Every structure is written in structure tokens, then in C-alpha cells.
Structure 1
Amino acid sequence: MTDALILIVEDEPEIAEILEGYFVREGFRVICARDGTTGLAHHQTLRPDLVVLDIKLPGKDGFEVLAAIRRRGETPVIMATALAEDLDKLQALRIGADDYVVKPFNPHEVVARARAVLRRTMGQAGKSLVRVGSLTVDPEARRAMLECDRGAVSLDLTPTEFRILSHMARAPGRAFSRADLVDACLPEGAALDRTVDSHVSNLRRKLAAAGAGDMLTGVRGFGYRLDAPHGR
């Protein structure tokens, strides 16, 4: 993990240099960008293992950069922001951020968060396929497929949505509390019921679009349950 490449997209040179120094000290490789356009170019050509992304950037802001990264794939992203409002955090998580830190932050904490995110994302590799009825989850390829009348449909999931689906698919029929899902799948700083609900709502919508709207259900006053799609 310590050989992982970290892309820092931050327009304040002092902050970028401090973060770079802490990551390099811990054995990571680092590349920096001062604006969103350059950050996206580095992301496409260098394929970093994780991105630390500021929200307020010149040109393309962090939300635009995050959305573009998510259209490309599942690179883990930690948002770094001076905005502490829950709505800003929720927007970042809804677009597909894996975690966030609020400025002024402790660089040690940013590195620790990065390690935790990398453990979650890299830890999926090597695990066998998980099947629940017509759903197949491939943790190694980070891909979820659903068999339906029109053939196999690939689900376009954010990293957090994929972790939730993969985690629940390993115990079909079990009722997971929101706390269970936070501990296993969500960033350490995102322990909000409505954060879980937002991710699950998006996941349920994508399952429904693929013809499995009955698969992910709420358990009143507790959390959520994943069952095999009815009739399959």
C-alpha cells in the first residue's frame, strides 16, 4: 500500500506541499496539480491509486472533477474542503467521494484516512465471486452484473454503492443496521443516517432500472436487507 500513487489536487501551494511531505514521509508516491483541469489530465495519464481533491479550485471545481473521475471509473477520492456544512459533505458523497476532511485539517489525519480508504478498496481484491439470485458481484474486478430478460446488465455504481452491495450480498436475507453499513462501507467521518440512506437510495434506483427493484428493501426502524430478486 505504501507504494501507492497519491494525486493531490489543491490550489494552495503551502497546503499541497505539506500534504505531499507527509505522504512521501509515509512511503507513498505523490503527484500534485494546482487546478481541476490539470488534475483530470494527471488522473487520466498516471492512473493514481487515490485522489485528495479540494472543492474550491480555479476553473473546474472539485465537484466537477469528482464527477468526471466517477465517469471514468472507481479511483478512490477524499474531498478536502473548507466547507463544513452537512449538505456539502452529502453532495460530495452522493457524487461518489469515498471520504472527506474539513480544513483546517491535521495532515496526519489525511494520511490515516487515505490508508483506511485504500484498505477498503484494495482489500476487495482476490475475493471470489458473490452471487445472489441473478446478481453477480465480482470484488476483484469491482463489477456487479444482473441477469434480466434483455441479458446481462452491468450496474454503474460509485465505489461506496459497490461496497454496500458487495457487503450485503455476502449475507443475503440478513437485516443490516445503518451502523453496520457505516462501519463496513462508509468513511469514518460520514456516520450520518441520512448519508447511508442517500447511498442506499441511489443503489436501489440503479437496481430498479436494471429490473431488480424488489431486491433491496428497507427494514422499518432498523436498516436494510438484500434478497434475491423475486421470480428469479
Structure 2
Amino acid sequence: MSGYKVLIVEDEQPMRELIASFLIEEHYEVVQAANGVEALQLFRREQPDVMVVDIMMPFMDGFELLEEIRKRSDIPFIFLSARGEELDKVKGLRLGADDYMVKPFHSGELIARIETVIRRAGGKQSSQTITSGGLILDLDYMEAKSAGRLVTLTRKEFRLLELLIKHENHTVTRSRMMELIWGPDYPGSERTVDTHMKTLRMKLPEESERIKTVRGVGYRLEAPK
């Protein structure tokens, strides 16, 4: 889902920046606050689409922040906290939180939960799409169509196809794909890209001939003739 703005409220800067990096990689716009008081000010000014909030913070904790937000808005609100006690979860949900995640967390689960609460809230009125020939990608809902057919892709397959379409007729190197989609610290080899590209071609038989291997370099999506 691109085009959405997330307000992250977390007093520990390394954790706040880590969450931000996950969201930016998925094309979210990110606003950051170090405490609840700052978050209220940013909420008024930035008008985010969803909030991801820690509980234990100075000046105003996450529960107090949620109470203040609910006086003003029904914005999707997710707690992301090290406090995993059942009473905390129940309190957060009863105060009006849409979801509650416990640290440590997996980035993919956080993204999925953000997507879910945005959809539940109705999302935006229109979605952003990119096209190439018979390929249509809905970037907000991460849906792919080929020749009018809905294609089931994994998140990384979708991101690979998005990258190829955005760089149509230009070669994207394996190393660049690894960096953008798997991250710079991924321990696997570039053969991972080849495996995913093979699967992508199998899932897109109508367009597979346009996906060219540039030997020793990477891949290129040729424009339709």
C-alpha cells in the first residue's frame, strides 16, 4: 500500500528508525514522534492515515495518547509494545485501539496488520496503479493482473515485478534487486533473485517472454511491441 502516511510514536530512537525503515521500504510516508505530546502536535499538522504507538513513553504514555486521539478521530491505531500482558492488550483494545502487537516483531507481520486496519477503515478513495502491456499492478492493495487475470504473487514477487515495470526497457542488476527487496543485510546469495524470477515467469506466461535475463548482470522487462 503506497501513498499512506504512518505516524510512529516511540521514545527509543533506534526502534523508531527501524520501524520507519520497514515502512519506507514498502512506500509508506513516515512521520516520527518521540512521545505522546509531540505525537498530538504532529497528528494535527500531518493528518496521518494510521498510527503505530508504543505504550511506555515519557510525558504521556500510549494509553493516554489513545484516549486523546479518540476524542478527535477514528484513525486506525496499532499498539506496538514490549508489554505483552493480557491486561494491557485488553485495556488497549477497550480504549479503542484497532490492533496490538508485542515486541519483538516481524516486519512482514507489522506491514500486514497496517494494511488490514487501513482496509478496515475504508482506505483511500482511489488506488495507485502502474501498467505495462497486459500487466496491471495495484500498489495500494498489492494486487497483480495479467491479461485481465488476477495473479497470486508473494510480497517479494510483487516487488520484483513492480521494480521491473518502473524500470521498463532498463536492466536492473541482481545486486540492486537484493538491496531494495531483501535489504542490504540479507545473508543469502543473488541466486535468490534467479529463483524468484523463475517463479514469476511461470506465474505470468502471457508476459514471460518480455522478462529478459541479462547474463551476468540482472533482468530487464521489455516494453510490449
TM-score range, shorter chain: 0.5 to 0.7
Identity %: 41
Give the distance between the partners of 1:14 and 1:66, measured in 2 at CA. Answer: 23
Report the counterpart of residue 23 of structure 1 in structure 2.
23
- Give the CA deviation at 1:107: 2.0
1:1-232 equivalences under 5 Å are 1-122=1-122
Name the CA distance, whole Å, in 1 between partners of 2:47 and 2:123: 18
Report SS of the residue matched to 1:122.
Answer: coil
2: distance between equivalents of 1:51 and 1:105? Answer: 16
Secondary structure, counterpart of 1:79 in structure 2? strand
Q: Deviations over 1:52-98 (max 9, x none)?
A: 01000111000000000000010110001111111100100000000
Unaligned segments of structure 2, at least 5 residues: 127-225
- Listed one character per residue, the Cα deviations across residues 29-73 of structure 1 (whole Å, up to 9, x for unaligned) are 001001110011101111100000100011100000000000001
Whether the 8 Å CA contact 1:7–1:33 is kept in 2: the answer is yes
Give, in whole Å, the separation in 2 of the partners of 1:24 and 1:100: 21
Specify the SS of the correspondent of 1:72: coil
Conserved 8 A contact 1:50-1:75: yes
TM-score by length of 1: 0.52
CA distance in 2, matches of 1:123, 1:29: 15
Q: In the TM superposition, what is the alpha-carbon distance from 1:109 to its structure 2 partner?
A: 1.4
The alignment partner of 2:41 has SS state of helix
Which amino acid in 2 is paired with 1:74? D
**What's the secondary structure of 1:6's corresponding residue?**
strand
Q: Of the two, which has the highest radius of gyration?
A: 2
In 1, distance between residues paired with 2:96 and 2:108?
A: 23
RMSD of aligned C-alpha atoms? 1.6
CA displacement at 1:124 relative to structure 2? 9.4
| Secondary structure in structure 1 of the residue aligned to 2:64 | helix
Q: CA offset at residue 108 of structure 1?
A: 2.0
What is the CA–CA distance in structure 2 between the aligned matches of 1:48 and 1:94, rounded to whole Å? 22
Q: Is the 8 A contact 1:18 1:107 kept in 2?
A: no
> Unaligned regions of 5+ residues in structure 1, if any?
127-232
Instruction: Letter of the 1:101 partner, please give it.
Output: M
Report the Cα distance in structure 1 between the residues aligned to 2:40 and 2:97, rounded to whole angstroms: 15
Runs of 4+ in 1 over 4 A off after TM superposition: 123-126
